[in-house]
Chain A
């Protein structure tokens, strides 16, 4: 059974704050690491798919880094806005498996 851990479980920040979350995953047989944003009553939406150690991806104010050797990824949000409020999911795929999701980090950004 593959173990994907996300921390913190939840986070409450003020508008304008920058924040980051962690996803840890098995460091062996790495294939890909996904980040999704899931807003209430909407579909989960893919943010990033990362495959290379040291990779860094950016979409607007959101960026992510990947360390496959030590088995972690960070998601950063710069200058959080209320519309960033959502649950952020990471998911790990090994060479042999389907995606395994973490429990997510629930972010609430207050105006």
Chain B
């Protein structure tokens, strides 16, 4: 298993500002995943953060809007840039479980509201 700490847990932000979400894992992991859940929608993968290389973004997500850092094997940040109300979502970071089961372990999420 993995214990994942995320912060902030929630925030209210003004349109046009940027916010950085931090994710700390209690063990070294190769890949960390960033997900978003907009209201009434499914969890959607934004990008995969690999240590030592650039993040891999899914279709519809771009680095300028969601820059990601991965400075070491236990930590990652996701920035939501130039926010609009459509960015109001729960953002989750996750990692693969060990043992090859493929299950994901998640942080508790960061609930952002953009006014």
Return chain A residues, CB-CB under 8 Å to B44. Answer: 101
**Smallest Cβ-Cβ distance to B3: which chain A residue:** A43
| Of A44, A49, A101, most B-chain CB atoms within 10 Å | A44
Question: In chain B, residues 1-54, which have Cβ atoms closer than 8 Å to a Cβ of chain A?
Answer: 4, 33, 40-45, 48
B71 near A: Cβ within 8 Å? no
Please tell me if the beta carbons of B42 and A43 are within 8 angstroms of each other in the complex: no
B66 near A: Cβ within 8 Å? no
The number of residues on chain A lying at the interface, defined by a beta carbon within 8 Å of a beta carbon of chain B, is: 21
Instruction: Report the bound CA distance from A89 to B103 in whole Å.
Output: 13
Return chain A residues, CB-CB under 8 Å to B101. Answer: 49
A42 near B: Cβ within 8 Å? yes
Q: Using a CB–CB distance below 8 Å, which chain A residues touch chain B?
A: 4, 32, 34, 36, 41-46, 49, 89, 91, 93, 98-104
Q: Using a CB–CB distance below 8 Å, which chain B residues touch chain A?
A: 4, 33, 40-45, 48, 58, 92, 97, 101-109
